[in-house]
Structure 1
Amino acid sequence: MNSGLMLTSALIGTVNYAAVFTIPGGIDQDRKSPYFSQPILYHGHKEKDLLQFLWYTGVGLSFALIALVAMVAIQLSRFCSNDFYMALPFRFVAAMTALLVSTVFTTTACFTAYNILDVKLNINMNMGLTFSVMCLVYFDSVYLTLNYMYFALRCSFSYRGQEMSETSELVGHEF
């Protein structure tokens, strides 16, 4: 599963990297223009939307790289029995969360690009449906791992509590 998710995060990172350099509206190619080699929409009425688009793609790219690094860390792990207790589940949840955030920002950048280019689309309905599906997939993939981590921590703390009460009883009997 990790290999497939690593490929997905690499593809999302690649899409965001390409989107940063292929700005909606294009680049001003008129050599006589004072805004030569700058984005056409940057000095227009769509400047705020263009900056939002660039911010969304930048955050999406950053979180895709974080997810990729976390998945490479899982892949290069020693896979000792102690690693399966908390280290690998925590890395998996962190990687999946970073991948979800990257996907959310990439999708938001896509809808912002539609808004910049004046594509007539019911953005609120489509974004709501898209984010609902993404959250369902995320919780479906992470639920069992989070459930395991909860019970492992709960058992660990309850065992330590019993261990502490046994040592306090032994100390009380010595005096």
Structure 2
Amino acid sequence: MNSGLLLTSALIGTVNYAAVFTIPGGIDQDRKSPYFSHPILYHSPREKDLLLFLWYTGVGLFSALLALVAMVAIQLSRFCSNDFYMALPFRFVAALTSLFVSTVFTITACFKAYNILDIKFNINVFMGPAFYVLCLVYFDTVYLTLNYMYFALRCSFSYKGQEMSETSELLGRVF
């Protein structure tokens, strides 16, 4: 599963990287313009939309790279028996959360680009079901791991509590 998600996060990161440098509206190529080599929409009424688009793609790129690093850390793990208790499940949840965030921000950047280019459509028809399906897939994937981590921590703390009470009883008997 990690290999497939590694490929997915690499593809999402590639798409976001390309989107950062292919700005909607293009770049001003007129050498006589005072805004030469600036985005055309940067000094226009759509400047706020363009900055939001760049922010969405930047967060999507950062999250995809974070997911990629977390999945490479899982792939390069030693896979000792102790790693399976908390280290690998925590890395898995962190990687999936980063991948979820990057997917949401990539979809949002896509819709913002449509908005910038004046492509009219009802965003609620597309964004609502897309976000709903993404949430279902995310929680379905992460639920069992989070449930395991919760019970492992709960048992760990309850065992430590018993261990401390047994230790204090032994110390009471010795002294």
Q: TM-score, normalised by structure 1?
A: 0.96
Return the offset for 1:89: 0.3
CA separation in 2, counterparts of 1:32 and 1:128? Answer: 45
- Please give the residue correspondences for 1:70-109 in structure 2 after superposition, counting only pairs within 5 Å: 70-109=70-109
Return the offset for 1:129: 1.6
2:83 aligns to what SS in structure 1?
coil
CA RMSD of aligned residues (A): 1.0
- Please give the residue correspondences for 1:35-74 in structure 2 after superposition, counting only pairs within 5 Å: 35-74=35-74
In structure 1, the residue matched to 2:128 is 128
In structure 2, the residue matched to 1:160 is 160
Identity of aligned residues (%): 85
CA separation in 2, counterparts of 1:74 and 1:134? Answer: 23
Q: Is 1:137 aligned to 2:134, yes or no? A: no
In structure 2, the residue matched to 1:112 is 112
Matched to 1:22, the amino acid is: T
Return the offset for 1:147: 0.6
In structure 1, the residue matched to 2:34 is 34
CA separation in 2, counterparts of 1:31 and 1:167? Answer: 80
1:77 aligns to what SS in structure 2?
coil
Matched to 2:156, the amino acid is: S
Query: For this pair of structures, how many residues does the alignment match?
Result: 175
Return the offset for 1:29: 2.0
Please list every run of 5 or more consecutive structure 2 residues that lacks an aligned counterpart in the other structure: none
Matched to 2:110, the amino acid is: C
Matched to 1:34, the amino acid is: P
CA separation in 1, counterparts of 2:39 and 2:101? Answer: 27
Matched to 1:167, the amino acid is: T
Please list every run of 5 or more consecutive structure 1 residues that lacks an aligned counterpart in the other structure: none
CA separation in 2, counterparts of 1:15 and 1:141? Answer: 23
Matched to 1:17, the amino acid is: Y
